[in-house]
Amino acid sequence: MTVLAAEQLSSPPSVRSRRDTVRNKRRLLNAAGELLREDPQNASMPAIAQKAELSVATAYRYFPTLEELHKEYLHGVLVNLRDYSLGSPLHGKALFEDVVARHVKLLETYGPAMIQLRSREGFLTRLHRGDEVIGTLHEAWERPVREVIRELGLSEGLFDFALMFCNSHFDPREVDDLLKNRGSLSEAAAIRMFINAFYGALKGMAES
């Protein structure tokens, strides 16, 4: 008997069950991400379960609906951005631009899948309803956006609208479209243009 097998036998059933749950959910989330990137039209629950090498019944046990699986996948990506943002020692525009750079970096891996998961509901509606995904997005961008508002000398009352515009302006689909159609611009120059457009929009909001 291997050491691993012996450890598994010595573990209480509840511990093994939790380990199985974590492992299987991770496999399903990874499989969902791969299919959403490679073959989004066929990213059904049976296809995801097959790719994860699990039964469809097992997949539905962890995620009762495909929407819930999508939501947890998207939430996991945003947690990465949130943790990076909260841990940054930067301030003002430097903080905002650093978080934008992290966002763009994450899109290199997760963007094609995230593009498939856009909600039909608006940002503010979901924020006020307490949607978990939007709540995490709020946590990721709150400090960067508030610090930009202060550095530009604008009213804090703009925050909700600024956050909504940040969400739409740096939407994965729009960033992906920009980078694919930037012509002679370097990636850095294209992102700089997008960032400056955001700053300009905030000033326009304040004037109105």
User: What are 53-68's pLDDT values in tens digits?
Assistant: 999 999 999 999 998 9
167 and 134: one domain? Answer: yes
Q: Which amino acid is at 79?
A: V
Residues 101 and 195 in one domain: yes
Examine the domain organization and report whether 60 and 74 are in the same domain: no
CATH number at residue 39: 1.10.10.60
Question: Which candidate, 99, 111, 122, 118, places its Cα nearest to that of 198?
Answer: 99
User: What does pTM read for this prediction?
Assistant: 0.84
| 32, 79: one domain | no
The answer as to whether 1 is a domain residue is no
pLDDT at 208: 79
Q: What is the pLDDT of residue 2?
A: 53
Question: Is the same domain home to 46 and 144?
Answer: no
Whether 173 is in a domain gets the answer yes
**Backbone phi, psi, residue 172, to 5°:** -50, -40
Whether 43 is in a domain gets the answer yes
Tokens of 29: 């989330």
> Read out DSSP for 28-52?
HHHHHHHHHHH-GGG--HHHHHHHT
Question: What's the first-to-final CA gap in the chain, in angstroms?
Answer: 73
Higher pLDDT among residues 52 and 16, named by residue:
52
Query: Which tens digit of pLDDT belongs to each residue from 148-161?
Result: 999 999 999 999 99
3-state SS, residue 116:
coil
Is the domain of 151 the same as that of 82? yes
Contact 28, 62 (CB under 8 A): yes
Total Cβ atoms within 10 A of residue 184: 5
Backbone angles phi, psi at 54, to 5 degrees: -130, 160
Same domain membership, residue 82 and residue 50:
no
> pLDDT confidence of 162, banded at 50, 70, 90?
very high
Q: Which domain holds residue 47?
A: 14-64
- Going by the DSSP 8-state scheme, the letter that residue 157 receives in this structure is G
Q: Do residues 84 and 102 lie in contact, with contact meaning Cβ atoms separated by under 8 Å? A: yes
Q: Are both 86 and 183 inside the same structural domain?
A: yes
Counted domains in the chain: 2
